[in-house]
Structure 1
Amino acid sequence: MSVDELSEMGPVDYLVLEFPGNRMTGEGLPLLLELVERRIIRILDLSFVRKEADGSVRALKLTDMDGDGELDLAVFEGASSGLLGENDLQEAAAVLEPGNSAGVIVYENVWAAPLAAALRRSGARMVANGRIPPEDLMAALEAVEAGSAS
């Protein structure tokens, strides 16, 4: 990827999604595909790992998650930008409970690319970012409501 291509990219995020007991049903897969098809995100890397009961970690292959005989993640086979290395997968697995598996996704926020590129051209730079978990947001809203009801 060239410097020019990088300068036009949107923000890049990652997710580590834990699946208790290795139960990946594929239920969220159509929604992920829709985000890609609508050009909201672009999958740069997608890997799966499993943490065994003894704490050892192994990579998982793309599978037929819903048992219909079709490879559910074939559309992402080969989605590897090289951003995720073995050390990253080991680090991701470190937060897993033994016996669980995880999907590790690195994705570009394509929807934000024009804004991000314009801000970079104007000299702006991101100095902090973060996420607010839905549970924290709900607690904050409930606290505001409780305070305004007094």
Structure 2
Amino acid sequence: MATSGPVELVLIEFPRSDFKGEIVAELGRLVDAGTVDVLDALLIRKAADGAVEWLEATEGGDDELARIVGEPAGLLAADDVDAVAEDLAPGSAVGMLVFEHSWARGLSAAVAGAGGRMLDWTRVPAEAIDELTAGLTGTTEKES
């Protein structure tokens, strides 16, 4: 598995263990548009009695999710499940996604072609940008 865009791990919590179809539909749209490539995905549920069940996204019976993920890269495994399940509330679930920002492949190639190299790629949380923007304009979101 060769990647040339940044790769991220995303954890999505579902407090009532309800997975919704609109998430899979949006992932499909992003994959089909060439924005991201989903490299691996796991679904983890913790029953009310504390028992943990997990499966690869391709084993969940959702054909669209299986199409999006394709052959899992094997980046997520039982150790990851144990680490997440420890903090998971009974009756809830987590979806774990590893994806590549495939839109950045061209940028990475251009940088390499110019003799450069990416030193770092840091994700800045939206909340931090909102705070910075509010500080620059002198307003807060509640005031607007």
Coarse TM-score class (shorter-chain normalised) = 0.7 to 0.9
Unmatched 5+ stretches in structure 1: 65-70
Q: Which moved more, 1:71-80 or 1:34-43?
A: 71-80
SS of the equivalent of 2:21 reads: coil
Q: Give the alignment partner of residue 62 of structure 1, picking from 60, 63, 69.
A: 60
The match for 2:5 is 10
The match for 2:43 is 48
**Number of residue pairs aligned between Structure 1 and Structure 2:** 135
Partners of 1:138 and 1:87 lie apart in 2 by: 35
Partners of 2:49 and 2:132 lie apart in 1 by: 39
For 2:54, the aligned partner's letter is A
Matched-pair identity in %: 33
Q: Give the alignment partner of residue 28 of structure 2, picking from 29, 33, 36.
A: 33
Unmatched 5+ stretches in structure 2: 140-144
Q: Give the alignment partner of residue 124 of structure 1, picking from 102, 117, 128.
A: 117
Over 3 Å counting, the alpha-carbon distance change for 1:112 and 1:137 in structure 2 is same
Q: CA deviation at 1:55?
A: 4.1
For 1:18, the aligned partner's letter is E
Over 3 Å counting, the alpha-carbon distance change for 1:92 and 1:120 in structure 2 is farther
